Every structure is written in C-alpha cells, then in structure tokens.
Chain A
Amino acid sequence: MLTVNGERHSIDVEPDSPLLWAIRDAIGLTGTKFGCGIAACGACTVLVDGKPVRSCMFPVSSAEGAAVTTIEGLAGGGALHPVQQAWIDQQVPQCGFCQSGIIMAVVALVAEHPRPTDADIDAGVTNICRCGTFARVRRAIHSLARE
C-alpha cells in the first residue's frame, strides 16, 4: 500500500523495486522522471514525509506507510504551489525534463529555509539540468523569499 499525493494505492510490485518505477509505471504518474538510476541527477526527486529523496534508488518498501508527494501533488485548491508559480514567472524550464525534480528539491529547501542564502541553495539543489537553467533557478528561489 502506497500513499501518493494523499491517495492510497494498492500496487503489485516487488519490495526492492525503486519507488520511481512504482510511481511511474504502476500508479501511472509520469511527472517524476527517470534520469540516471544512480541517484546522481535528481530528476526523480519526490518528497517522502516532506523530505526529498531520489526515488530511482529508494526501495518502494521504504515508502510504505509514508506520505509520498510528487510534482502532480504540489498544486492544491486550484492554485499552483508558490514554487511552481515562481517557475512560470521566471520562465525557468527549457526542455523541462529535469524540472519536476528540481521543483521538488526546492519545495523541500524553502520549507526548511524560507529565506535561503546562495550557500543554502548550492547545498540544497544539486540536480543536473542539461539545458542550463541554473541562473533562473537561483533567481526564482530568491524571488520566493522576497514574497
């Protein structure tokens, strides 16, 4: 039994299956991306009880009983999460493939550091973005702190 974005799912996967593939293939939420399979790029980042994890190496069995949040679960009540809105305002994504993971990492970062310093951002957002959106990622995070 897996709880994703507040919904309980009964899924048939082996306990060692990574959470990523359970979310994508068994539950069918494809906003969480596969990038490397070795927890190096962060494209698969989701929140497990509010903490960012790289789901491509996180066994699905470890998420049992926890609350998993994916990019699809961020917006609520018809409104985007402030991080998502900042991403639109600053026109951050290019190809966009890594952005779900970056947004999830940033949601966790600003939950812990509402006004993150550049050093906090450097330490909290270690995802790879091949299109090179880093300057806008930083700008968007700082814009959140100003609001």
Chain B
Amino acid sequence: MRTWTRRAFIGAGTVAGGGFVLGVVGAALAPNRMTVRSDGGTQPGELNTWITVTPDSFVTVLVPHCEMGQGSQTALAMMAAEEMDADWTLVRVKEAPALAAYANEYVVRAFSGGTIPALVERGFDYGTYRIVRWFGLQVTGGSSAVRGTGVYGMAVAGAAAREMLVAAAAQRFGIPASECSAHGSRVTHRASGKSATFGELAAAAATLPVPSRPALKQPEQYSIRRTPRPRFDIPSKVDGRAIYGIDFKLPGMLYAAVEIAPVYGGSLVSVDSAPAEAMPGVKRVVRLREAVAVVADSFWHAHKALATLQPQFEEAGHGDVSSASIFAAFDRSLGAAAEMPAGAKTTITADYRVPFLAHATMEPMCCTAKVEGNRAEVWAGTQDPLNCRATAAKALGLAPEDVHVTNLLLGGGFGRRLPGNLDYIDLGARIAKAMSPAPVKMVWTRENDIQHDWYRPAAMARFAGALDAQGAPMSIRSRYAGGGDGESVFMPYAIADLSAKSGDAKHPVRTGPWRSVLNSQHGFFKESFVDELAHAAKKDPYAFRRDLLRDQPRFRAVLDAAAAMAKWNEPLPEREGRGIAVTACFGSIVAEVAHVVVSPDGKLRVKSMFAAVDCGDVVNPDSAAAQAEGGIIFGLSAALVGEITIAQGRVVQRNFNDYLMIRLADAPEIRVQFIPSNARPGGLGEPCVPVVAPAVANAIFAATGIRVRDLPFKSHDLAVSPTSTSGRSIS
C-alpha cells in the first residue's frame, strides 16, 4: 500500500510549548471524499495515530496497542520514525489511553487481509468501520498491530509529518521544499548547507496545511525498519520497575480472593461466611451470583480466609459433562467419512483430536477497581482497554463515560485478555462496588486461572483422501467439530477436490481465542493428513507438498527454505526423524521442520525446530525472530504436554503441576529465517504456532512409524514395538 487511503484524515495542531502534534484519523464519516482537517479532529472512533514533536526534537508516538512483549509498540514507532526520517535515539512511545478516540478500525481492516478487490474495498471498510464503532474495539490481538495500525496509520502519519517539517524548513530558508531533505530529525538545504532540527521547525510545521497524500518510502530507502532495534519495554522488565496489573497499588486498597462456580454457568447457592469473617484482616465476605469473594487487608489474609469457606454452587445442568461426552458428541456429529471418487487407486481415512487448552498467562487475572457514587476507575492489564471500560460500566450499571480505565502492562495475553473474555474485569468491578468507596484489588490464584479460562476449543476432524494410480492426490475431504473457518481449513495444494465441512456439536465449556485461534487445531489436522497421504503415495513428504505447491510460489519458498535449513535430505540415525508442515494465517506463511529423537523406551525429545517465515516485510528483525521463537515454544507446550480435561462439568487441572508446559531443558534449538516477499506485512504473534504440532507428529512418524493423531504427545506410548495405529485404514 503506497498511496494514502481515501477514507482517512490527517489532523494537525500545536501543543503547549510550541510543539507539533499530528494525528491520523481512521475512517471518515464521508467515505467517498478525501477530507483534510486542520485541527485535532475528535469525532468519537476516529483518531488512531498521533505523533508529537516537541521543541527538544523528541518524537513521541502514541500507540493504540498494549505491550505484552510482542514488541509491536517499538515496531509501530519504527514505522512512523522511518517515514519521518527521525533520529531513532530521539523517539519514544506512549500507550494511548482507553478512549473511543483510539478505537482501532485498522485492526478490522488487517483482519480482512489483502484479498479484497479494490472495487469493493471502500464499501467493505465503511461497513466494518461501523461494526468497529459499535463494538468499540481497541484491540491488541489477531497479530494486527503492524499490519493494521502500522501500515495504515503509523507510516502515513510519519510521512505527513516529514512533509510538513520539510515545508516549514523551506519557508524558513526561503527556498523550494524540493531542495530540502530530512535526515536524523533535521531538515537540510543541500545547496546552502542550512539546516534546522525538527524541534526548531515544529511550531511552524503545525500551522501548515496537512498533505493529503504524503509520499511513502520505497523499502530500499529504509534505514530504521529492517534493522534490529532494542525494544522500549525491556529495560524496565529486568530490574523490577515494570508495573503489571497485579502490581498496582492505591492507598487504603483492599485485596480480594475469589472462588468461582466450578461448573461454568453455575451459581452460588449458599455459603456460611462466619468462619472467614472471624479471621484476621478480613473485611467482608461478598456473595456474587457465580462466586464468593473474601475481601481483606492483604491478599494472604483474603486467600487464607477463603480457604475456610465451603460454598455450595449449583451446576447449571452441566454436571455430567466430560471430555469423553464432548468427544463422543463430536464423533457422532461427524458421521461417516466422506465418499471418495470412484476412480481412486488408494483411499485413506483418519480421525484427529485435540483437547481444550488454557492460556495460562504467567500473570494470573487481576483487576483493581474503585467505585465512588456514579463514577468508577479500573486499573488492569487487558488486550482491549476500551472494551474493558464497557465491561466495567455494564457490571456497575454506569455509562462508559463515567468509567476511567488505566491499562497496565500485561503478564501475557495470548487471547485470554481479549473482549468477550473480560470476566475478571466484570468480577473485580462488582467486588469493588460491594466495598465502595474502598479500592479493591482482586487477584486470581493460578487455580482460578486454570479452571476459569476461555479455553482453546477442543476439536475433532475426520479426513478422507484419495490417490490416483500414479500416486497423485485426487481428493481431500474433511468434516470437523469444535470450530473452523475459511482461513483455518484452507489448504494451498493443487488438489482438484478439496472440501472441509463443519459437523458441529455444542457443549457448555466456554471457549475463546487462543494464540492462532482456530489455526492451532486445523493446522495439526490438515498437515498431519497431507503427510499421511504422502506416505500412502510412497512419496517424500517434503517433495509431495512441494509438487502440490506448484501454483503457490510463496508457500513453496518457505517450504524449500525450511527444508534447506533442516538439511532435509541428510540421513539420520535410527529413531530420529524430521517432519515438515506449512500453513498460512494472519497474513503470514510459515513452514517448519521438526527434528525429533525418540528413545527406545519412548521418550520424545524435540531436538531442533527450523522455521521459514514469509510475513511480507519485517519491521524489527530481532523482535520478529523472538515472536517466532516464542510461538514455537507455545506450540510445543500444546503439542507435547498441554491438556485441559473436563470431568463432572469441571476442569480437572488446577495448577502448573498438572497443567504442564515445556521448560528450558525441553526447549529445542530454534532457527528462524525470514523469507522476504513483496506482500503486505503479515502478523507474527500467531502464525508460527499452528505448524508446530503437525511438524512434530510427522517427525515422530518418520522416527518411529507411529502416527499420533490426537494431542498431546505425552499421552502416547512411543516405545519400540509400536502397538497403536488406530484410526487409519488403507484400502
């Protein structure tokens, strides 16, 4: 995207002390017309990107996305600073407050991907813009920051700022703007050598007309983007200064510990509060519809007193639900495997299953709130401060305007703190209301967190595939239960007959987006099955895929790169194997090769992971690599050991002793290579996750001949003399 969108405004103005502030306004109310504003445009839902230049030449970029370690605040500032030709050492970021002014319409546009035909794009954007206004999203999720806010907001704002600063310099020197250039936060007139800093020019620039279509740089001109830049948020994370939601304090603050109905949807029937109320430091036992809270003068007092309570909860009619009953319903809903073409030489079928998973952010959910009359304040870490405000307002029966939210650092998000999942804000606000006007910090225990998540949906798929007499695939048809969408079931392969249909079955376990959303399930299903089809065709799984990607050069490029990194064709010792997989999601394409070692007694070790990533342009290479490394570890925890099971309507796992994740000793060597493409930037937080499980499953098969079709791998016996090949038949 090299031209300025027609649906956006740029607004500029002065700030106290003679500085310059420039805002890019998201969607216009008059979508057919280019409009340029000379003030700071404050229509609700419009403002998205702000750049401030102060007389000391510091550039502050206000970012409407939270920082949860993904590095997008730094990347977004890089995109703005690049177009400005700012001196990177003079650039700072600030997170935007939870105001409708920062609702990010760009996020929805990023979600829509780059495939909308130009003719309908305008209508589409306007439509989604209205949806965004309605929901009031200020989201950090969907790997959207760089590809949404960055591409449509930051780069354009930076370019406009540069043009205005250059124009101000031209006026000052009395020469044409075309003879001036910006570099290192300074505008210079080449012929005379005259120059002025951005800070010296800021006040004058603020009075100039705002360019309607600022020219963006070509990638070859980049000097900030594509070079590794240390993240702004890191120094405060190594010395204890960083303040996360759980760290927030107010004078006179009370602490709440909670017990929530163990079966989702259940309510509190009764509780004898007397024992807890007699404990030291306890202020009150608060009864809520679905929970009981103990409020005390310290978290430890609240926690200890809560343990003395024996609350009775009813089960909302779901007390008989179990993982077995859910998967049995999935199984029934899938019916018989799809018919295969009559001319097929070989057909295979296979069923795959994946369990529920918890997000298990390292920081348990928490929320501090203070309710005074008809006003409230909330301090918490969320992926959507604006929705946090709406959630708290609803819980308190207040207007959103009467609730002020301060978003604090998030100790992990992964989708847990997205809109729709803000139960901890709702609960924390109601507890604070009961204790009004005292401020209350509600802290969840790890047990609360593991047992009351919005889980990665469990899912099941039934695949059938056919090969012709030459071993070429004719057909892959699948049915799935547990959720899916067009992106997650998409297969890039040149196979004439591809179909995936939903055969859903409902269950009462609450589910939500989990890093890579539906792709983590379907990535495992489809890339495992393609591997099975390759083996049925007696072909090398890499070569088999490569051939089927003849019309998909970007997919083929990452596949080739991952195979080359992993030295795919070099022989391995016995009981070692490589597995390959490739998927696309959130605008990026990723191929990974897993190299595993399986001991004779069945112990699985993932020795190395090789990832080739095409996310278009890479803004900050080092933090991009960190996202890929993290995504791989997240995917490995899920594939190897992650499992939430349901019994009697309740989550069985309670803490890190039974909800497991891999640790440093289990972490493989990880190599990441970015494959440059001219595609628009894709996301990075999520796309490296879905390929992990199938790459490892395929590697296990290569090492042992055992095909694992349900996760996690820890549940399978991989010892010599395999006994399990269930779920697949070859005819």
B411 touches A132 (CB 8 A): no
A93 touches B238 (CB 8 A): yes
In this complex, how many residues of chain A approach chain B with their Cβ under 8 Å: the count is: 59
Tell whether A34 pairs with B300 under 8 Å between CB atoms, given A80-B238, A87-B238, A135-B670.
Answer: no
Query: Is A31 an interface residue, CB under 8 A from the partner?
Result: yes
Can you list 23 A-B contacts with CB-CB less than 8 angstroms, sorted by A residue number? A21-B298, A24-B247, A28-B249, A30-B240, A33-B244, A34-B364, A36-B656, A38-B655, A80-B239, A84-B239, A88-B234, A88-B238, A93-B233, A95-B409, A96-B237, A103-B238, A121-B664, A127-B663, A128-B663, A130-B360, A132-B633, A135-B669, A138-B664
A14 touches B240 (CB 8 A): no
Partner of B664, one of A17, A84, A127: A127
A34 touches B68 (CB 8 A): no
B234 touches A18 (CB 8 A): no
In the complex, which residues of chain B have a beta carbon less than 8 angstroms from the beta carbon of A138? 664, 667
Interface residue ranges, A against B (CB under 8 Å): 13-14, 17-18, 21, 24-26, 28-38, 40-41, 43, 70-72, 74-75, 80, 84, 87-88, 91-100, 103, 121-123, 125-138
A95 touches B412 (CB 8 A): yes
In the complex, which residues of chain A have a beta carbon less than 8 angstroms from the beta carbon of B447? 37
* A28 to B249 CA separation, bound complex (whole angstroms): 9
Query: Is B76 an interface residue, CB under 8 A from the partner?
Result: no
Tell whether A136 pairs with B362 under 8 Å between CB atoms, given A72-B240, A96-B411.
Answer: no
Interface centre among A84, A97, A126 (most CB of B within 10 A): A97
A93 touches B69 (CB 8 A): yes
Interface centre among B237, B362, B409, B622 (most CB of A within 10 A): B362
Tell whether A91 pairs with B280 under 8 Å between CB atoms, given A122-B665, A131-B69.
Answer: no
B300 touches A33 (CB 8 A): no
Query: Is B502 an interface residue, CB under 8 A from the partner?
Result: no
In this complex, how many residues of chain B approach chain A with their Cβ under 8 Å: the count is: 60
Residue of A nearest to B631 (CB): A132
In the complex, which residues of chain B have a beta carbon less than 8 angstroms from the beta carbon of A21? 298-300
* A128 to B657 CA separation, bound complex (whole angstroms): 11
**6 tightest A-B CB contacts, nearest first:** A31-B240, A132-B633, A94-B69, A97-B411, A96-B237, A95-B69
* A35 to B663 CA separation, bound complex (whole angstroms): 15
* B670 shortest CB reach to chain A, Å: 5
In the complex, which residues of chain A have a beta carbon less than 8 angstroms from the beta carbon of B361? 95, 97, 130
Tell whether A91 pairs with B234 under 8 Å between CB atoms, given A130-B361, A133-B626.
Answer: yes
Partner of A130, one of B237, B242, B629, B661: B661
> In terms of DSSP, what is the predominant structure of the interface of chain A?
loop
Residue of B nearest to A131 (CB): B630
Tell whether A30 pairs with B69 under 8 Å between CB atoms, given A17-B300, A94-B626.
Answer: no
Tell whether A95 pairs with B68 under 8 Å between CB atoms, given A35-B446, A80-B238, A132-B633.
Answer: yes
In the complex, which residues of chain A have a beta carbon less than 8 angstroms from the beta carbon of B242? 31, 96
* A24 to B623 CA separation, bound complex (whole angstroms): 31
